[in-house]
Amino acid sequence: MLPEVGSVSPTTLTAAVGVVAAAGASAYAVAAALRHRRAEADDEDFVQLRDTIAGLESVALVVPENPSVDALAASIGLRELCKAWGVSARVFAEGDVTSDDAKAFCNLFNLSLNVADDPLDDYDGAVAVGGGGTVPSFANRPPVVAVVRHRPAAVDHPLVVAGNEAGATSTIVARFIERADRTPEQDVATALLYGIRAGTREFRRVRSREDFQAASFLQEFADQGTIDALRAPGMSGETFDVIGQAIGNRERRASFAVTNVGTVPAVSALEEAADTLLRLDGVSSAAAFGVHEDTVVTACRADDVRTSAMDVLTSAFDQTEALGGDADTATARVPLGLFSRVSSEQQGTLDELIDASTRKALFSAFEQA
């Protein structure tokens, strides 16, 4: 039997209601203040970026080597903003585009990417879009005037637009288009909406309401048919074979998975393999490694917000020729050096050493992350 509760006087009840109401009002005030502070930060970033770019005649929008769909989409949105600000803009990539997803995206949106190691002297400034590694310098020809990326690593640059609460770089750009009070063209809205979906893994990796608000803004103007086509791109036979190797050679410890795919024809196949491992039940972080052009390449993915893919690879490999990406996706390259010249009789031993040492380094880094 429940114990009896004495009667409550109207005065006591009124006081209790007042306390609850005051607490609720206080919580609402705090939340409103935080929203206001974030809005002010967004406005400041927008104004700085607009004033910086609008002072130029032409700008090169540069995405990383083998860019993510999110980075490509964000560059299309920024190109639209540059046009609105009266600035000529073109999209470049630091290296080749090899990912099947990225190729399909470029084809559907007629996005032709020149490699940024071609002369960029004709442009007044460059904007680094996406990624999370070091910012390209281009020997200051042209100077990098801004960095727009999602959750960047530490970057020494006067103008870094970083949506720390956004799940994709496309979210930042979409909010800027809305802030500019512009109605996006259908192809721009479609690209950005798909960029948000790709960057947040179909909204499974959303960090705040920013992603939903940006997607809601774009939904009215986007072409859903194009998005459906992008969600099921074709896969090359080489990539299919690599994924098969990845599944067969996988090793799992707790929520971490690591696999060796041997020699790979393209880095994009490794990235597809790492993405595939993340689909295993209970796996929150994964890495796939293999040899490409006398270099051990490792693609790392982290779905768990407590784990940074960049930090994992930095911890696993003390010396890398190249390390790029962000907290969610990162890639490291370790040259084989003299080991690339071993005879065919010694190749098997070298493969075993690469397998054992790389697995050990990755699992150790995952456990420390």
Write down the pLDDT at residue 164: 64
As a 3-state breakdown, the chain gives helix, strand, coil percent values, each rounded to 5, of 50, 20, 35
Is the preceding peptide bond at 142 cis, omega within 30 degrees of 0?
Answer: yes
Write down the pLDDT at residue 151: 66
Short-list 240, 184, 245, CA closest to 215: 184
Beta-carbon count within 10 A of 18 CB:
10
Short-list 58, 38, 80, 49, CA closest to 182: 80
pLDDT < 50 stretches in the chain: 1-8, 10, 12-17, 19-39
pTM above 0.85, yes or no: no
Write down the pLDDT at residue 36: 41
State the residue for tokens 């595939």: 276
Q: How far apart are the first and last CA of the chain?
A: 51
Distances, alpha carbon 270 to alpha carbons 132, 211, 215, 263, 297, in Å: 19, 28, 29, 10, 8
Write down the pLDDT at residue 76: 97
In this predicted model, what pLDDT tens digit does every residue of 180-190 receive, in sequence order? Answer: 999 999 999 99
Half-sphere exposure of 163 (CA within 13 A, CB side): 32
Write down the pLDDT at residue 329: 80
Write down the pLDDT at residue 289: 95
Cβ neighbors of 296 (< 8 A, separation 6 or more) are: 289, 290, 333, 334, 335, 336, 354, 358
Write down the pLDDT at residue 5: 40
Distances, alpha carbon 80 to alpha carbons 34, 185, 186, in Å: 30, 9, 11
Tokens at 29, concatenated: 């005030």
Beta-carbon count within 10 A of 133 CB:
21
DSSP string covering 59-114: EEEEEPSS--HHHHHHHHHHHHHHHHTT-EEEEEESS----HHHHHHHHHTT---E
